[in-house]
Structure 1
Amino acid sequence: MHRIETAKMTRRTFLKKLTRTGFVTALATSFAYGYARWIEPSHLTVTHHTLSHPLIPKAFNGVKLLQFSDLHLGHYYSLERFYRIIAHINELRPDLVVFTGDLLHEANRYPDTEAVAEALAGIRAPLGKFSVYGNHDHGGYGTDIYRRLMERAGFRVLVNEHVLVRRGRQAIAVAGGDDMMLGRPDWAKMIAGIPPATYTIALVHEPDGAVETCRYPIHVQLSGHSHGGQIQLPFIGPLITPPLSERYYEGFYRVGGLVLYVNRGLGTTRVPLRFFSPPELTLFSLIHR
């Protein structure tokens, strides 16, 4: 009789533990989803870094370059949030601003291109504003829409070309390649005519393009596209990364003699979630050494 009662208590205890575990698991899952859906995507981070090199002209010592990327406006990314980003960029008082692709999620379906152009035009950058195509900028018949929008906003759209940014008599080069997935990138054309020993920064949307970029006299590549993995797990890393960002997906890398920086972007793609990969603005200080 005693053994039967003990068995009943054991089953009851087991069922209680099972119910408690299920409740805690459901609660944790709900919290994680709520955090990834509503909190982290709105938690903007500003990362500050230094780019130092002997070829950075002394006239550029202390110049601030701001990179932003991958807004995906229209894909769960509102104009109101976008306006806050523009205000934040201006608060950082950059000298140069670069955008590394994927502005609109579906350009031919986005209804507020004029408002976006007007907002981007409000970014202040005395040494210039430059951008390149991402795959979403070419996709959805967006190639011409993106170019017109960015040019109205005062951005120079670089497609396998470069500009010399001057400060006094000294200059650095900002080069831009076409998108690797839907465009026709040409690295040799991108840097053709850059004077020897000119410090050169290349904008290439897909970070894995660094494998090709490092073969040329380019010192830094700035990329986006990966969203930092968008959903990362501790000790595991990103669950899914887009094509051409499997090798390099977040932060600094050294690829041969090239320095690569991968920005986590601002918006989301595929699913409107971010987990351990908050949206990012990156502010670089150029230092002559």
Structure 2
Amino acid sequence: MNNKMNRRSFLKRMLGGAISLLGLSGGSYYYAKYMEPSMLSVQEEKIISSNIPPQLEGLRVLQFSDTHLGFHYDITQFERLVHHINKQQCDLLLFTGDLFDAPNEASFEMLEQAASLLDSITAPLGKFWIYGNHDHGGYGTDLIATYMEKGGFTLLQNQHKTLTYNGEEFIVSGLDDVMLGKPDISRALPPQAAHTFTMLLCHEPDYVEHIKGEPFDIQLSGHSHGGQIQIPFLGHMVTPPYAKQYVEGWHTIRSNQSLYVSRGLGTTRLPYRFLCKPEFTVHTLTAQKQDG
């Protein structure tokens, strides 16, 4: 079975690569490199759960991810993103990792500009973030933490925060990056998570398979970029480790536990997006009505 799967995966990559090279020539190439990566889309989604109490109904949570500043994503694009984020007037802001593509290569000016723009984002219940693999990479761990703090963001590195909305408590938890960090779910989730609505931030979506028995209601992830290049009938062409099984959108993990994977905003490895527009997401909490 494994040999068959490996052969199938290999053939898919080879065929996908050939089609990509042929299909992304001429006008398609120009579209994928220069047009679609700038086609910012705003996804409106509902987080529906029976664990959401009526007091949390209507809470708006904005998730953005994977800007990869410096790799074909510049400060002008980031400024436009921040403008659109503020237009949403959300209650809570969550960043699910990978601010810069190579933090150690970023100029002081770009780091300062990014922090200033992050600081201009407003969210009454706070702004929280987690490490992605690129944030830890390139000796960026402390550097990114410094500039995210300047931007008014609170790091959740195997930590949690209990927040209150309309008099009702809920929990936002965050894991350290799976690939280059040391995720510890036992530290990230407090005991009260078992009976309190809990959102878990984890950069790599596939890690949900290792922690799906833990008491959280939804995992919000990025990392995948939605595959960046999507070819009809072949699917996602560029999927990194820990984003092979869950690549974009909604997934039901258990009866009352779900995963949402953002396509993110920037690119990495290849400066293309094809049939995979960059996005940020506005999640509205919605209490699931009980039968009877």
- TM-score, normalisation: structure 1: 0.89
SS of alignment partner, residue 207 of structure 2: helix
* 1:108–1:58 CA distance, 2 compared to 1 (3 A): same
In the alignment, which of 214, 233, 236 is matched to residue 234 of structure 2?
236
SS of alignment partner, residue 194 of structure 1: helix
Q: Which residue of structure 2 lines up, in the alignment, with residue 211 of structure 1? A: 209
Once the two structures are superposed, the pairs formed by residues 40-189 of structure 1 within 5 Å of their partners are 40-111=36-107, 112-189=110-187
Q: Which residue of structure 2 lines up, in the alignment, with residue 6 of structure 1? A: none
CA displacement at 1:56 relative to structure 2: 1.7
> Which whole-Å deviations, capped at 9, do the CAs of 1:223-268 have from their partners, x for residues lacking one?
0000000011011101120000000001001112420000000000
> Which whole-Å deviations, capped at 9, do the CAs of 1:79-127 have from their partners, x for residues lacking one?
0010000000001111111000000111111011111111001111001
Letter in 1 for 2:197: Y
SS of alignment partner, residue 278 of structure 1: coil
- Does structure 1 retain, via aligned residues, the 8 Å contact 2:171–2:193? no
CA displacement at 1:195 relative to structure 2: 4.8
Number of residue pairs matched? 265
- Does structure 2 retain, via aligned residues, the 8 Å contact 1:57–1:172? no
Cα distance in 1 between the residues matched to 2:167 and 2:269: 46
Stretches of structure 1 that go unaligned for 5 or more consecutive residues are 1-24
> Which whole-Å deviations, capped at 9, do the CAs of 1:205-227 have from their partners, x for residues lacking one?
00001112311011000000000
Stretches of structure 2 that go unaligned for 5 or more consecutive residues are 1-20
The percent of aligned pairs where both chains have the same amino acid is 44
Deviates more, 1:255-264 or 1:242-251: 255-264
In the alignment, which of 180, 192, 195 is matched to residue 194 of structure 1?
192
Q: Which residue of structure 2 lines up, in the alignment, with residue 260 of structure 1? A: 259
CA displacement at 1:192 relative to structure 2: 2.8
> Which whole-Å deviations, capped at 9, do the CAs of 1:144-177 have from their partners, x for residues lacking one?
0111111111111100111011124311100000
Cα distance in 2 between the residues matched to 1:101 and 1:195: 23
- Does structure 2 retain, via aligned residues, the 8 Å contact 1:57–1:171? no
- Does structure 2 retain, via aligned residues, the 8 Å contact 1:228–1:265? yes
* 1:172–1:236 CA distance, 2 compared to 1 (3 A): same
Cα distance in 2 between the residues matched to 1:57 and 1:256: 20
Cα distance in 2 between the residues matched to 1:103 and 1:211: 25
Q: Which residue of structure 1 lines up, in the alignment, with residue 274 of structure 2? A: 275
* 1:37–1:28 CA distance, 2 compared to 1 (3 A): closer
- Does structure 2 retain, via aligned residues, the 8 Å contact 1:47–1:283? yes
Cα distance in 1 between the residues matched to 2:218 and 2:247: 16
Deviates more, 1:49-58 or 1:257-266: 49-58
Q: Which residue of structure 1 lines up, in the alignment, with residue 8 of structure 2? A: none
Cα distance in 2 between the residues matched to 1:203 and 1:42: 26
Letter in 2 for 1:201: M
Letter in 1 for 2:79: Y
* 1:28–1:207 CA distance, 2 compared to 1 (3 A): closer
Letter in 1 for 2:164: R
Structure 2 residue 225 is matched with structure 1 residue 227: yes
* 1:31–1:193 CA distance, 2 compared to 1 (3 A): same
Cα distance in 1 between the residues matched to 2:23 and 2:228: 22
Larger Rg: 1
Cα distance in 2 between the residues matched to 1:73 and 1:240: 19
- Does structure 1 retain, via aligned residues, the 8 Å contact 2:128–2:155? yes
Q: Which residue of structure 2 lines up, in the alignment, with residue 5 of structure 1? A: none
CA displacement at 1:58 relative to structure 2: 2.4
